[in-house]
Amino acid sequence: MSGHLGQESLLVFYKAELSWVQFSLSYSYVISQRLCFLENCIALYADDCKSSRIINSASDQNMFQEDLDNLHRWSLRNFMDFNVKKCKIMRITKKKQPFFSNCFLDNSVLEEVNEFRDLGITTDQHLRWNLQIDKVTVAKANRMLGLIKRTCRDFDDRKTLRTLYCALVRSNLQHCSVIWSPYTRKGIEKLEKVQKRATKFILRTDDCYADRLKK
């Protein structure tokens, strides 16, 4: 998303539902060919649609609302409905006093959220990945590691345990990590804690962490 730090961006997440029988024709292709009337940024994936616009004044807000109205009219023309209950709006800004105004879709006020999960990745209104690391990645990896430790307590085959770790635990730590990979020491340590516990269990040794990694 383009824009200076002093600007405010509105990002709306839509969930579209087909109101006709699905044919073999690509739904995403149909949408991409027919949303050319919008002037703002549109991102499409499967049946998900995201729209954004930089808001600096009331006129910008009115233009954004016009975009939403155009989307609604487009859906009516093409016999498709947006699931308004699943449509969310999130403001991405560093302004101390951002411009607030309700946004409507099909005469319904869109719910405003401070965080949103999209394609398995959770981010917040400041574009930080703390929620992704804490609530999704580390939490899920720890649950899977706990499962392995409970079910393989008396199992001492390192190769098999390592395979289980890579398949069930490390895969969670690496999922989409190119996007949310932490750069702070605190975030890195949270991920390292999982691997420290795993290497200690797999190798059944009290060697220091650096030595365990070499094995």
Q: Please indicate, yes or no, whether residues 104 and 134 belong to a single structural domain of this protein.
A: no
pLDDT of residue 40: 60
pLDDT on residue 21: 31
56 within domain boundaries: yes
Same structural domain, 108 and 26:
yes
The structural domain count of the chain equals 2
Structural domain of residue 71, as residue ranges? Answer: 8-113
pLDDT at residue number 23: 30
My answer on whether 194 and 137 are in the same domain is: yes
pLDDT at 168: 94
Name which of 176, 93, 82, 87 is nearest 137 in CA terms.
176
| Gyration radius of the chain over CA positions | 23
Q: How many angstroms from the chain centroid is the CA of residue 144?
A: 21
User: In this predicted structure, what is the pLDDT of residue 192?
Assistant: 92
pLDDT along the chain (215 residues), means of 10: 47 44 34 50 72 81 86 82 83 77 86 84 86 89 94 90 94 90 90 92 86 80
- Unique residue bearing structure tokens 């991102």: 43
Task: Determine the pLDDT at residue 146.
Answer: 95
Indicate whether 140 and 65 sit together in one domain: no
> Where on the phi/psi map is residue 27: left (φ > 0), alpha (ψ -120 to 50), or beta?
alpha
Do 90 and 159 fall within a single domain?
A: no
Q: In this structure, are 109 and 134 located in the same domain?
A: no
Whole-angstrom distance between the N-terminal and C-terminal Cα of the chain? Answer: 43
The residue out of 113, 144, 174 marking a domain boundary is: 113
- Rounded to whole angstroms, the Cα distance separating 8 from 206 reads 51
Phi and psi at residue 160, to the nearest 5°: -70, -40
> 14 has which bridge partners?
49
Q: Quick one: pLDDT at residue 209?
A: 83
